[in-house]
Chains A and B, each alone.
Chain A
């Protein structure tokens, strides 16, 4: 009896094991995503989810290769008026939506109107859009107010949706089908969302009538698994259960590099920068000498080493990629405790206390705060490191906008960390969102109440400039002035690291904030 039971169990186990081993499928791309994608609505999704959604929804123009150059996607060409306020898009003919309808100018108008009405997701980017109208079936004209972000960059953030499908999903009290679109899709992209198991997986299947065609090697199916634990993702990658792991533990990178079955693809000089904002309006940090002293006391080399190679040096207020390679001279970027001590004394702040806020669970922020604490402690400055949950952090930084801006205000902050501005590959995003006076609180991320009228004027002049040379000139001048005022500590630039199986071809890292895993250009080499 016992023997028979044992044999049965053995047979069952072997059966199960053989099934487990037979999991690989050459035509399917399997990806371990580290973060959750809560909604598949391209017009309400956070910037974290937008890159993933580019498998399904496409913009008129977009970032296609590994550069910041925009290329035509659903629009074949764009005519721009001389004053850069009227943009005429000529749509690609013969493009089909996943619901079988055709792409017409009406769909473009509907998509932009939807973003403007529901005021979520990429709305901030197209706030300067005045009107959008269909000229004929395949021509759309958009008129904007000057002075905003580069408009084509803004357009690249709006995915075009099928009005037929979305209107069918609308209800009386949900005119723009927000509930429907949170779990259903109808785009023009190379893949259709075939299956959505929330909290578990997304299954994408090739859309046969895709306008880009299916010539050459492609995956016909892609499974995006949510694997929250990085160590698990690493093991799955090593066994070949997943082809790409979005994130693995940083201490696993060396062993992965040594593994011939795995490629570790890295890119320096990304555009995701970590800053420590200092309050320029109130408290001891209102004195630029104190802000410079804090900069002198921050040992960037020590931070970079402690980060295990996940960060590199910074270029200054704006990554040089967006300033035509321009890197300003920053004297206080060098680590010099004596100079720091001298400046603190000169400002009469030799025994000050610095409160540094960081977001709970963000290791680089905590590490940077600790580095600062260690060195400032040596010269008599106490650093209080204060952890705060993300929602409370968001409220606090936005509540600043309505505060008295004095050290006695309950919302007063001395210093807190900030990752780059919202996703837009242009110097405007950095300059306006972080340093323009209008970006204090509310819309924008000028969380230190930095104010310099000359900087404001230069940013505005750059945004209004019609030719690129003038624009660059204004922006570089603004950067020089910001460097002089030292409104922040430049902590480090995040390196972009992806780990994938060596037999995956066509992979490149796009140097944007949250790189997309686009299945279309990828293929299996063997």
Chain B
């Protein structure tokens, strides 16, 4: 394909994104209706009478043909209405608006931790290959990759909460405090906006353990990826050329090698980011963190279809967006990459 300008590229990608979201919604809708369970029954429980169940179906349009239900859902979705939760009767869009910031607030520091430390460890171990740093980095990444996050979470709680008492075990805020007035949904930012230092401190300290727990897996992946990608590049001809020109080792590393090694690292980070965004269910459960992953997981167990569908829409959009960002970042990292 011919190289295109940025606007055309973005437009094309956005159209594809819309199609992807529609596809995901369709598939989820069909799957949800294939599950051998009755959402009306599930919502009302085994004690409800047949009349109660029928009444409920009529109220929610569940007695309509599937195609009609699908059409209604999609047209409402386009207006930004994701329906109301069967279980709680709260609008799904509003719920997502409350639970997504909690997850993102946890995710950002965790991503920063994992990228910074993972990158440093990876570079260190590639540069001092086989040395102490390399061994240490290998151990840390192996630990991060193989330790189940809920187990690590419990160990962190045991050590830093139960024994040392440095950090709280769970939640977003101390129980004596009320959340700051809602502006962004991020307790830290909202505390800053409200100028409330108490809630800022409390929300920061509540972030530490879950963010560290969530960061370990990504940290391990980033470290391993950085190491192998960098080693590849360091053994290539142009690095040998650069070295033979007499360039200092730091210049070779930072100016020549790293930039070329970055593409696969960014790809991996993008993939992990998508997964983390769509909910760190286990971390959120262990740390009693009211995030979107736990919200969706609870809904799934209760067959709360509108919530499951709404979550699917969100997760699809996030994945598509992150992919787009990753693709765009390639052009920045490597000028040879062209938009097609």
Contact = CB atoms under 8 A, between A and B. Distances in A.
Interface of A: 13, 15-17, 19-21, 23, 25, 28, 30, 36, 38-39, 41, 44, 46-47, 119-120, 123-124, 127, 178-179, 182-183, 195, 197-201, 203, 223, 225-229, 231-232, 235-236, 238-239, 241, 389-392, 394-398, 422, 442-443, 445
B135 interface: no
30 contacts: A17-B166, A17-B167, A23-B175, A25-B176, A38-B88, A44-B89, A119-B52, A178-B89, A182-B90, A198-B290, A201-B171, A225-B288, A226-B290, A229-B170, A229-B286, A235-B169, A236-B161, A241-B169, A390-B42, A391-B37, A391-B41, A391-B302, A392-B35, A395-B36, A395-B37, A395-B41, A443-B48, A443-B49, A443-B50, A445-B46
Nearest to A441: B50
A363 to B, nearest CB: 16
Interface string B23-57: 00000000000011111011011111111100100
Contact of B161 (A16, A235, A422): A235
Contacts of B170: 225, 227, 229, 232, 236
A478 B301 CA distance: 38
Contact of B87 (A38, A178, A396): A38
B335 to A, nearest CB: 35
B84 interface: yes
Contacts, number: 173
B51 A119 contact: yes
A232 B286 contact: yes
- Most chain B CB neighbours (cut-off 10 Å) among A13, A30, A36, A395: A395
B190 to A, nearest CB: 13
B228 interface: no
A120 B169 contact: no
Contacts of A397: 46
B175 A200 contact: no
Contacts of B37: 389, 391-392, 394-395
B175 A228 contact: no
A197 B176 contact: no
A394 B176 contact: no
A203 B176 CA distance: 10
Contact of A198 (B48, B95, B198): B95
Contacts of A47: 47
Given A16-B201, A232-B157, A28 B176 contact: yes
B197 to A, nearest CB: 10
Given A19-B205, A23-B176, A197-B179, A235 B90 contact: no
Contacts of A203: 178
User: Looking at chain A's contact residues, is the secondary structure mostly helix, strand, loop, or mixed?
Assistant: mixed
B319 interface: no
Given A389-B37, A394-B46, A232 B288 contact: yes
Contact of B158 (A13, A16, A235): A235
A384 B128 CA distance: 57
Given A200-B290, A241-B169, A398-B46, A229 B90 contact: no
B191 to A, nearest CB: 13
A127 B99 CA distance: 38
Given A179-B89, A392-B35, 17 more contacts: A15-B201, A16-B204, A20-B165, A20-B168, A21-B165, A178-B89, A179-B84, A182-B90, A197-B179, A198-B88, A199-B290, A201-B175, A235-B158, A394-B38, A398-B41, A442-B49, A443-B47
Nearest to A179: B89
B201 A228 contact: no
A19 B202 contact: yes
Nearest to A17: B166
A39 B172 CA distance: 21
A235 B165 CA distance: 11
A348 B171 CA distance: 59
Contacts of B224: none
Interface in B82-114: 84-85, 87-90, 95, 98-99
A336 to B, nearest CB: 33
A394 B41 contact: yes
Contacts of A422: 47
B215 interface: no
Contacts of B285: 228-229
A29 to B, nearest CB: 10
A197 B290 contact: yes
Contacts of A198: 88, 90, 95, 98, 290
Contact of B50 (A46, A396, A442, A445): A442
Interface string B157-200: 11001100111111110111011000000000000000000100
Contacts of B157: 231-232, 235
A199 B294 contact: yes
B136 to A, nearest CB: 21
A134 B88 CA distance: 32
B184 to A, nearest CB: 16
A386 B134 CA distance: 48
B127 to A, nearest CB: 21
B288 A228 contact: yes
A30 B169 CA distance: 14
B314 to A, nearest CB: 16
Given A119-B51, A232-B169, A238-B162, A39 B99 contact: no
A16 B295 CA distance: 29
Contact of B99 (A13, A17, A178, A199): A199
B50 A228 contact: no
Interface string B122-148: 000000000000000000000000000
Contacts of B175: 23, 25, 28, 30, 201, 223, 225, 241
B64 interface: no
Contacts of B201: 15-16, 19
Contacts of B162: 235, 238-239
A29 B98 CA distance: 26
- Most chain A CB neighbours (cut-off 10 Å) among B52, B84, B88, B162: B88
Contacts of A391: 35, 37-39, 41-42, 301-303
A261 B60 CA distance: 50
Contacts of A394: 37-38, 41-42, 45-46
A19 B154 contact: no
Contact of A39 (B46, B89, B154): B89
A236 B168 CA distance: 9
B8 interface: no
Given A15-B201, A30-B175, A182 B88 contact: yes
Nearest to B84: A179
Contacts of A241: 168-169, 175
A268 B103 CA distance: 42
A395 B46 CA distance: 8
A82 to B, nearest CB: 30
B298 interface: yes
Contact of B44 (A28, A120, A239): A120
